[in-house]
Structure 1
Amino acid sequence: MEPSSDKYMRLETLLLPLETHSSLSVRFALSFCFRDDDVIAVTYPKSGTIWMQEILPLVLNGGDLTPIHTIPNWDRVPWLEEKRLELVVNQLLPPRALVTHFTYNIMPPSFHTSRAKVIYVMRNPLDAVVSSYYFHQMAEFLDDPGSFDEFIDRFLEGRVMFGKWTDHVKSWRHTKLGDRIMYITYEEMVQDLPAAIRRISTFLGRRLSEETIQKIAEHCSFNAMKANTMSNFSLVPKQFMDNDKSSFLRKGKSGDWKNHFSAEQLARFSSVICKDLGDEILSLPYELNQLEHRGNENESQ
């Protein structure tokens, strides 16, 4: 099943939802003027974007909770490529925090000539595809995902918003950004959020007290975000996101893929991901080659 042409636009190999993107918003993004003190979190969809929209303002402002309680997350840390940026960019106080799903090769020229810092958040693709599947069920502006088995194939082939997970990861693993980029995983953040915030604050040159770090972690916990109307997307009208079908902030855990993948699906998924990554698999924190082996073992039992 091909993605619906009336719901997406194409930017090179990427599919962008028309509800939140337009030719004008993409043009604005590609000509955006980055400043040296800007910070941008980069993610593949469903890999921790909303979490970073919560964390970054608090790290940058020293733990002042005002923005996360008064400004919707899509305006407090806007997407580079979405329609909202042009509307709110002049309201962003320095240092500005942004997020993007762009691959590295699409970033605007000013990004490369600036000293803007990047935090790349990566999530186990097994969990990313599960999260994306449920998001497609509740987001009325996206295609019907079909069955989970069908959606796995769409994900692996890149027939989903922002293309293939492997292309996205590879593009950001091989940059010329040097000390401008920091890599962190969704799983690290789940396992020890204060430690992740400590790393982020150090990378951004913020000297936060342990008390402030703990406060930020508490207010950026899954339960706190799920209860915060400025962060849980409950302000979005039902015709765009139907929370009755699935909550936008669903579980906030790692490893939920184990409740969804059959042995055959796991073997198929891991095999394709490993093949697409090639030697890159050796530098990733997920032992997908072992997952593939486990899937084959389970299948033969």
Structure 2
Amino acid sequence: MCFLAESKINRIVFLSTVTDSFPKRHKGPSLTSPQRPTMRLASGHVAVQLHGEELTKIQKDFKGFGKGLVRLTPGGWLLPAPYTKFADKIYNTEFRASDVVIMTYPKCGTTWTQEVVWTMRNNPNFNHPKAGIPVKARSPFVDSDMLAHLGKDVLNSELLELVKDIVPHPDPDEGLALQLTANIPDPRTIKTHLPFSLMTPNLLDTAKVIYVARNPKDVVLSFHHHSRLMKSMSYVGSLDQYVDYFINDQLIYGPYWEHLREAWPRRDHPNMHFVFYEDMKADPMAELRKLNQFLGTDLTEEQLEKIAHYTSFEEMKRRDDFYREKEMQRLDQEVSKKDGGFFRKGEAGSWKGHLTDTQEAKINAWTKDNSQKLGITFRYSL
């Protein structure tokens, strides 16, 4: 059975059944059902197409997932089905010693960190000719091609226009983000929401990685808004249902804790910088100084202070609002007008007053079990 067989045949083994199983901590359905379309990836994972009641339920609440979803084993990673088209290309991406990869679970301060790092490395004196274009064209989101292929209205014509002077012959079908990643000049700052196991094995030994973590209560609230706002997801369910999706590992790019489990033990690697979103919000200058040392940018205190202002939430929102006018077709306008756009609050502790006691209790119990096993502690307010 051929399932999304766009990748080279000598790098993929197609299976009619799956013999692998999830780690016991995974709460989702088993992958051992017979005759389900599957695909073995270069990473060694097996991608299994979701079907039946689970897929029906998710697609009812996430209108943007009409092309289906896949779950990978081991790990239990849940991703849009178009991921399999680009999975091996992402895994085999060649990284350079001068690269910095920003890795996060969604809604953990990724875009903010991208702008900070790109500015520190490429625009410390605010005179770079490309500084005015959106960050996604300066710092590519390497795994975003699977999201751009979720619907016919989300092929990202704006990005195509932005990359024309960087990519010789851009082809959306081959992945604009992947082509942009391969062609932008050094030093490259690259974003991913994928975990270490789905990236090239020598990533951390080749490039620098900045991993940003955020407390799960703020993550679920921010991701809920994002899922409603973006037409590529078009979430129409309730917040209560969304919390259940989150703690049951049924949101894309999850499981949340597995993402952290792959990063946290690597935090002492010399090429790894592990930072908490809450610490960045509490004392931006302190974190900029740490980044300055990690990146070897050797910036002055005055430069860092100006960068802290330039990359503040208010300044980034102001710049983003200008460009968002050009890609309104990607956003749910009703959600944007009522609850805010891509840059909504940018706070630590915004979950307070939004999560019910029941929702908070669910997340607390789930967090207590997982965080103790991992040995990680979060700040939930400043």
Q: 2:243, 2:129 → 1: CA distance?
A: 37
Secondary structure (helix, strand or coil) at the match of 2:329 reads coil
Equivalent position of 1:78 in the other structure? 140
Secondary structure (helix, strand or coil) at the match of 2:231 reads coil
CA 277–67 in structure 1, closer or farther in 2 if over 3 Å, else same: farther
Contact 2:181 2:190 in 1 (8 A): no
Secondary structure (helix, strand or coil) at the match of 2:180 reads helix
Count of aligned pairs: 284
- Alignment match of 2:190 (pick from 67, 85, 98): 98
After superposition, residues 41-80 of structure 1 pair within 5 angstroms as: 41-61=102-122, 63-65=124-126, 66=128, 69-80=131-142
Contact 2:78 2:255 in 1 (8 A): no
Equivalent position of 2:88 in the other structure? 27
Secondary structure (helix, strand or coil) at the match of 1:98 reads strand
Contact 1:63 1:216 in 2 (8 A): yes
CA 287–257 in structure 1, closer or farther in 2 if over 3 Å, else same: closer
CA 176–122 in structure 1, closer or farther in 2 if over 3 Å, else same: closer
Contact 1:41 1:99 in 2 (8 A): yes
Report the Cα offset of residue 80 of structure 1.
2.3
Report the Cα offset of residue 226 of structure 1.
0.5
Over alpha carbons, which structure has the higher Rg? 2
Contact 1:226 1:232 in 2 (8 A): no
Q: 1:224, 1:76 → 2: CA distance?
A: 18
Q: Which runs of 4+ in 1 moved over 6 A?
A: none
Contact 2:90 2:143 in 1 (8 A): yes
CA 52–233 in structure 1, closer or farther in 2 if over 3 Å, else same: farther
Equivalent position of 2:77 in the other structure? 14
Contact 1:72 1:230 in 2 (8 A): no
Contact 2:91 2:200 in 1 (8 A): yes
Report the Cα offset of residue 23 of structure 1.
3.1
Q: 2:143, 2:116 → 1: CA distance?
A: 20
Q: 1:255, 1:232 → 2: CA distance?
A: 28
Q: CA RMSD in A?
A: 2.4
Secondary structure (helix, strand or coil) at the match of 2:209 reads strand
Report the Cα offset of residue 86 of structure 1.
2.2
* Paired AA for residue 285 in structure 1: F
Equivalent position of 1:149 in the other structure? 240
Question: Which has the bigger relative contact order, CA under 8 A and spacing at least 6?
Answer: 1
Q: 2:372, 2:223 → 1: CA distance?
A: 24
* Paired AA for residue 10 in structure 1: V
1:208 partnered with 2:308: no
Equivalent position of 1:295 in the other structure? none
Equivalent position of 2:156 in the other structure? none
Report the Cα offset of residue 89 of structure 1.
2.4
Equivalent position of 2:170 in the other structure? none
Equivalent position of 1:298 in the other structure? none
Report the Cα offset of residue 275 of structure 1.
1.8
CA 168–131 in structure 1, closer or farther in 2 if over 3 Å, else same: same
* Unaligned ranges ≥5, structure 1: 289-301
Return 86-95 or 133-142, whichever deviates more: 86-95
Secondary structure (helix, strand or coil) at the match of 1:259 reads coil
TM-score (norm 1): 0.85
- Alignment match of 1:186 (pick from 271, 274, 277): 277
| Residue-by-residue CA offset, 1:66-95 (whole Å, 9 max, x unaligned) | 367432211211122222322312442212
Report the Cα offset of residue 110 of structure 1.
4.0
* Paired AA for residue 186 in structure 2: P
Report the Cα offset of residue 230 of structure 1.
8.0
- Alignment match of 1:3 (pick from 58, 67, 71): 58
- Alignment match of 2:337 (pick from 244, 259, 262): 244
User: Structure 1 or 2: larger helix share?
Assistant: 1
Q: Percent identity?
A: 27
CA 11–60 in structure 1, closer or farther in 2 if over 3 Å, else same: farther
TM-score (norm 2): 0.68
Secondary structure (helix, strand or coil) at the match of 2:273 reads strand
CA 97–150 in structure 1, closer or farther in 2 if over 3 Å, else same: same
Contact 2:267 2:273 in 1 (8 A): no
Q: 1:170, 1:24 → 2: CA distance?
A: 26
* Paired AA for residue 358 in structure 2: E
CA 266–28 in structure 1, closer or farther in 2 if over 3 Å, else same: same
Q: 1:258, 1:229 → 2: CA distance?
A: 26
Q: 1:28, 1:241 → 2: CA distance?
A: 31
* Unaligned ranges ≥5, structure 2: 1-53, 60-64, 146-175
